[in-house]
């Protein structure tokens, strides 16, 4: 199947059958998320992969009781940095220098520019920026899941504060941004499975400026 066929195949599953997704597929989906581009390469988020059924049961009531939270195989929680700190910025710049094996003046100047701007900003503004980066990885995971023939339900319908509390995210300097239950569709119980995909026409979305 071509990528576009797979993107047409995928949909936001409303019912899943509890079947387990193999760990090698899960690893490839997570690797796609890890490879996501992010602003300044900071990757300002972490992903929690919940396999534990009791934890899923705790999250379900604070996620509008959506059945896929418990009937999925793995529940991914994309958690963004609560703010940008000098330590977090330095970590990524130091990692880059270590992996590439050299320091570069332009790159070091860029580090100083980020250090003199991000940490001074309002934490909420920084979280919102970090959450946008988490969404990029989330989309990569969604596409990778489709590529693997695995269903995934993008999910913003949850109480972020409650999920943060259940997973102890605030103590880690993180805040939940978006959820992605991953598993397999339960076709006979999903009202959405046979409905035609609705997208606005290309001309209402794209403007080409010659």
Ligand X SMILES: Cc1cc2nc3c(=O)[nH]c(=O)nc-3n(C[C@H](O)[C@H](O)[C@H](O)COP(=O)(O)O)c2cc1C
**Residue 12 vs 55, nearer CB to ligand X:** 12
Residue 34 CB, shortest distance to ligand X, in Å, is: 20
Residue nearest to ligand X (CB): 157
- Residue 45 CB, shortest distance to ligand X, in Å, is 14
Positions in the binding site for ligand X (CB under 6 A): 11-12, 14, 66, 153-157, 178, 197
**Rounded least distance, CB 65 to ligand X, Å:** 11
Cβ 198 to ligand X shortest distance, Å: 7
Rounded CA separation 95/118 (Å): 19
Q: Closer to ligand X by CB, 93 or 140: give it.
A: 140
> 130 or 178, CB closer to ligand X?
178
Nearer of residues 46 and 159 to ligand X, judged by Cβ: 159
């Amino acid at each position: 199947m071509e990528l576009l066929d797979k993107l047409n195949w995928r949909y936001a599953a409303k019912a899943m059958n509890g079947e387990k997704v193999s760990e090698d597929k899960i690893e490839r989906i997570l690797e796609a998320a890890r490879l996501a581009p992010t602003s300044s390469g900071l990757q300002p988020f972490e992903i929690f992969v919940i396999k534990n059924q009791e934890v899923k049961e705790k999250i379900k009531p604070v996620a509008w009781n959506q059945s896929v939270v418990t009937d999925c195989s793995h529940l991914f929680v994309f958690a963004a940095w609560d703010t940008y700190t000098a330590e977090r910025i330095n970590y990524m710049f130091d990692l880059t220098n270590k992996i590439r094996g050299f320091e570069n003046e332009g790159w070091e100047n860029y580090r100083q520019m980020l250090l003199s701007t991000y940490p001074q900003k309002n934490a909420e503004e920084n979280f919102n920026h970090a959450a946008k980066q988490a969404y990029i990885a989330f989309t990569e995971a969604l596409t990778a899941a489709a590529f693997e023939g695995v269903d995934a339900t993008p999910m913003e319908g949850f109480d972020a504060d409650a999920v943060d509390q259940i997973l102890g995210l605030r103590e880690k300097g993180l805040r939940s941004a978006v959820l992605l239950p991953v598993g397999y569709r339960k076709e006979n119980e999903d009202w959405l499975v046979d409905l035609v995909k609705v997208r606005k026409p290309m001309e209402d979305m794209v403007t080409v400026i010659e």
